[in-house]
Homo-oligomer: A and B are copies of this chain.
Amino acid sequence: MDADVPLLIPEINSDHLKVLDRQKSGRGFSTGYIVTNPNCSTIIMALALAPLHEKFGIEAVIATTLQAVSGAGYPGVPSLDVVDNVLPFIDGEEPKMESETRKILGRLGTNSFENAPFAVSAQCHRVNVADGHMVAVRVKLAKRTSIEEVREALTSYTSVPQQLKLHTAPKHPILVRDEKDRPQPRMDRDAGGGMSVTVGRLFPDSVFDYRFVVLGHNTVRGAAGAAILNLELLQARGLLHGKTARENTAPVEARVR
């Protein structure tokens, strides 16, 4: 969350890499720099929010998670916490989802990141699932939008990794399913090689504008796959291979969209 470190999701905020010039000079790094993965639940939800925020503007988000045990690593979650049980607490997860989402969907100003101008509320739960984080989302939009527009914005979403044909980039970052009982962790977590998120249960909401459920593979899109996609983006941008930013022919700013 440092002001000079991008929380990178290549589809969403590759332009945040521009902060690296400032990071390197500010920290006196001659080689290397810091780019981080967001929290796994944040990545999965942010992917579904990105096209909505881009096209319609988001005014508020209420997110409730049902997260897999692999998110805590190994040995991680004691089995007694999830056998015939739900654990309504994941250390640090709720504040992370609330703050990281706003940074990721925010914009990089001249001197600092500006958070996206909406509040996020997160309640996080651990459930008896091996892999696959599910997030039940309500979203309030800045402008009047039909459900067809919302659906279209989600299904048609592609971005930098798809344009650059990065090796690990899924063809469709967001899949939308219309069956009444999808997405489900065991059925949908491996969509797009684990790099797509799946949205379902998209409906008008009785309090906010829309509600939906989004699911993603927490150890692929939410962790290892995210790191690899970050690397592939950095490589495509000419930011790897031991070169410092200065040794590249152009400043970082010119190399990101």
A-side residues, CB < 8 A to B, are 60-62, 64, 66, 69-70, 74-89, 98, 119-121, 123, 125, 127-130, 134, 136, 138, 180-187, 200-201, 205-208, 211, 213
Contact = CB atoms under 8 A, between A and B. Distances in A.
Nearest to A207: B121
Total copies of this chain within the assembly:
4
A185 B89 contact: no
11 contacts: A60-B207, A66-B66, A70-B80, A75-B80, A79-B82, A79-B83, A84-B130, A85-B187, A87-B181, A98-B206, A121-B208
Nearest to A95: B206
A128 B130 contact: no
B128 A88 contact: no
A244 to B, nearest CB: 39
Contacts of A134: 86, 88, 125
Contact of A88 (B78, B121, B125, B201): B201
Given A83-B186, A84-B129, A128-B129, 17 more contacts: A62-B207, A66-B125, A69-B80, A74-B80, A75-B78, A77-B78, A78-B79, A79-B79, A79-B82, A84-B130, A85-B184, A86-B127, A88-B182, A89-B201, A121-B211, A123-B213, A127-B127
A129 B129 CA distance: 11
Contact of A75 (B62, B75, B98, B136): B75
A225 B15 CA distance: 48
A183 to B, nearest CB: 7
A88 B129 contact: no
